[in-house]
């Protein structure tokens, strides 16, 4: 991101953001409610376009892409994990994950094969046919993570991934994110939890729509 701002009418949700994330990094973006974290996530994930500034992902200038090209970039490059899981009632874990590649053009048998492998990767090989009401909160989040990484996206954006979990389940989910990072995935965790942020290799603090500090550039004071 270079000089990225996002406004909604007279409200500046994000102002003059400068942020570079390298392949293979793991970092936290931390800030209180209303600080601009969600806006930053949406722009990083190409779910929203900035009002001003430049966003580049994998060498692609986002503002130069059509909506169709942007959707293709997102599908191939970015996995999303949200606090609320987004698992449909009555759908077993295997199909919930396989549906992550619903628009890939791959046949159902192949999508289920990949889903089975990915669920085993996150430690849920014994829960393939369990529906959401039969899973714990931590297991639901691991299903959501499996769905997000099914196509091996190089970038994983996790928005408050432990926010709806007890401390034990939250620890398991964070261990899984560390494992994915160790395997080569770039992992960005959006959180209000300072302990989680402090435990990651890099910490970016945001406040009132501005990046306040970045541990990767300690000499830089951004808040003005």
DSSP 3-state helix, strand, coil percentages of the chain (rounded to 5)? 35, 25, 40
Say what the pLDDT of residue 224 is.
45
Residue range 5-12: average pLDDT?
A: 91
Which of 19-33, 98-112, 178-192 shows the lowest per-residue confidence on average (mean pLDDT)? Answer: 98-112
Say what the pLDDT of residue 25 is.
96
Q: Considering only CA atoms, which of 96, 150, 83 is closest in space to residue 122? A: 150
Mean pLDDT of the chain: 91
Rounded Cα distance, 150 and 147, in Å: 5
Neighbours of 223 (CB within 10 A): 11
Domain annotation for the chain: domains and CATH numbers = 2-214 (3.40.50.300)
pLDDT digits (tens, 9 = 90+) for 107-125: 889 999 999 999 998 999 9
Q: Which residue has the higher pLDDT, 164 or 23?
A: 23
- Model confidence at 103: pLDDT above 80: no
pLDDT digits (tens, 9 = 90+) for 59-96: 899 989 998 899 889 888 999 998 888 899 999 999 99
Confidence tier at 218 by pLDDT (50, 70, 90): low
Say what the pLDDT of residue 203 is.
96
Say what the pLDDT of residue 81 is.
92
- Model confidence at 45: pLDDT above 80: yes
Alpha helices in 19-107 (DSSP H): 37-44, 67-77, 93-98
- DSSP 8-state assignment for residue 134: G
Residue range 150-160: average pLDDT?
A: 92
How large a percentage of the chain has pLDDT more than 90? 72
> CA 127: distance to chain centroid?
23
Say what the pLDDT of residue 125 is.
94
Rounded Cα distance, 189 and 161, in Å: 8
- Model confidence at 220: pLDDT above 60: no
Q: How far is CA 47 from CA 69, 80, 166, in A?
A: 13, 11, 29
């Amino acid at each position: 991101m270079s000089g990225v701002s996002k406004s909604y009418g007279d409200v500046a949700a994000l102002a003059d953001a400068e942020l570079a994330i390298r392949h293979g990094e793991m970092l936290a973006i931390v800030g209180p409610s209303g600080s601009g974290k969600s806006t930053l996530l949406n722009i990083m994930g190409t779910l929203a376009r900035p009002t001003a500034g430049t966003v580049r992902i994998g060498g692609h200038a986002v503002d130069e892409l059509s909506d169709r090209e942007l959707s293709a970039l997102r599908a191939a490059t970015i996995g999303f994990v949200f606090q609320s899981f987004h698992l449909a009632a009555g759908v077993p874990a295997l199909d919930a994950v396989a549906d992550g590649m619903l628009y890939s053009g791959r046949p159902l048998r192949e999508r289920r094969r990949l889903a089975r492998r990915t669920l085993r990767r996150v430690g849920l090989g014994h829960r393939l046919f369990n529906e959401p009401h039969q899973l714990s909160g931590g297991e639901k989040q691991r299903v959501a993570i499996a769905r997000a990484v099914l196509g091996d996206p190089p970038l994983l954006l996790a928005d408050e991934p432990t926010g709806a979990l007890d401390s034990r389940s939250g620890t398991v989910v964070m261990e899984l994110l560390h494992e994915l990072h160790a395997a080569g995935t770039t992992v960005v965790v959006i959180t209000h939890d300072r302990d989680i942020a402090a435990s990651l290799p890099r910490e970016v603090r945001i406040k009132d729509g501005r990046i306040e500090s970045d541990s990767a550039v300690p000499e830089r004071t951004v808040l003005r």
